[in-house]
Structure 1
Amino acid sequence: MTAPHWLQQPSLSERPEATILDWLFDQGSLTRRLTQLSADHFSVTPLYEGWQPLRDDECLALDLAPNSLGWVREVYLRGHGQPWVFARSVAARSALEQGGLNMDELGTRSLGELLFCDQAFARRAIEACHYPTAWLPLEHAQAGLWARRSRFDRDGLSLLVAEVFLPALWQIVCPLQKDH
């Protein structure tokens, strides 16, 4: 599987429509934005949490050696019970062991909200791509879905958060337009 080419906004060769660009490169908390859009009917459904070798693109983004072991958390961010976003957050084992963040204890809480509430976290540039179909949960595996990711750093702890925007979100955000 070839890794996607994560690009920053000015570099995007295929420009999505303005509404999608706004969601991809919004600097605020996605959790807060989804909570507002859903009129407080927001929830997090964990799909997978555990230690595993990180993907090559994740290791590169976190300045780790290939196949480094890390904590992987995959969740759905839901509005009104519908999966609106598939999120994958990863951190190196070594960083978590010394960083004081217990990702394994989040449960149905939003990692994003924690990151935005802790002013010590610094967010690096947001990157976007079409997310590889093979990396999505089977029930939402389709080509061409826009995703974004960014790295959050705090005192030697780095987290990489990728968020894939699912069709159900675009049906709410821009219901009169079809191709996203």
Structure 2
Amino acid sequence: MMKSQAHWHPATTAKLPNELAGWLTDKGSLTLRLQQTSQQQFSVDLQQSGWQKPLSEEALKLEQPLHEHAYCREVILRDGDDARVFARTIVPRVSYQALQAHLHIHHLGNRSLGEILFTDPAIQRGPLEVTSLRAGHSLFELAKHHGIEMDDKAIMWARRSCFYFAENSLLVCEMFLPNQDWSI
């Protein structure tokens, strides 16, 4: 199946489902909000980290050459055994050294990147963008690749934003998994 790119829209103007609108537009730490609303025990489940070619939509957002590898980290944010969010962080090669020295991004393991991003006053968040993903979208298929069970008719909402440290940037994309109660 040909994988398609998502069509991202500013979170401020997008028509969003009521139960997810607050989550998709919240400018604060998703980690903190999930910790506060978890019914069981919040955890970060590291799926993969290392160098790879980012998706073309990620490379374009970061203004990096399409063929250039970037540091990629993929995690599932869980409430007990329940997968709630699939998150993907992309760090361009030109930013990696500075962000590694400042954030120790390569050594996070099962710790949350959000805990660092939102407690460091030197790091600024760019505007939020949102999209809805369906089977066939690259990000939807990536989530399924990590064992997240979703019906091919499911719609998965996602948000993304760049974070900036000095002249360096990274992209964080968070996909809110369907079949979850987001009304909390």
TM score, norm. by length of structure 2? 0.85
Matched, 1:70 2:81: no
- Counterpart CA distance in 2 for 1:3 and 1:9 is 18
- Counterpart CA distance in 1 for 2:8 and 2:67 is 19
| Cα drift, residue 165 of structure 1 | 0.5
- Counterpart CA distance in 1 for 2:17 and 2:54 is 32
Q: Identity of counterpart residues, as a percentage?
A: 36
Which residue pairs with 1:147 in the alignment? 158
Which residue pairs with 1:81 in the alignment? 81
Give structure 2 stretches of 5+ with no counterpart. none
Give structure 1 stretches of 5+ with no counterpart. 176-180
**Corresponding residue SS for 1:33:** helix
Which residue pairs with 2:183 in the alignment? 174
Assess if the C-alpha contact under 8 Å between 2:125 and 2:161 holds in 1.
Answer: yes
- Select which of 143, 164, 179 maps to 1:136: 143
- Counterpart CA distance in 2 for 1:86 and 1:137 is 10
Matched, 1:118 2:120: yes
| Cα drift, residue 95 of structure 1 | 0.9
| Cα drift, residue 39 of structure 1 | 5.5
Assess if the C-alpha contact under 8 Å between 1:43 and 1:81 holds in 2.
Answer: no
Matched, 1:32 2:32: yes
Deviations 1:80-135 (A, max 9, x none): 22111000011012211233232210001000111001111110010011132323
Cα 1:117–1:48, aligned 2, differ >3 Å: closer, same or farther? same
| Cα drift, residue 137 of structure 1 | 2.8
Which residue pairs with 2:51 in the alignment? 51
Moved over 6 A (4+): none
**Corresponding residue SS for 2:118:** helix
- Counterpart CA distance in 2 for 1:128 and 1:74 is 18
| Aligned partner letter, 1:153 | Y
| Aligned partner letter, 1:158 | S
Matched, 1:160 2:171: yes
**Corresponding residue SS for 1:152:** strand
| Aligned partner letter, 1:135 | L
Deviations 1:58-85 (A, max 9, x none): 1111111112211110000011221110
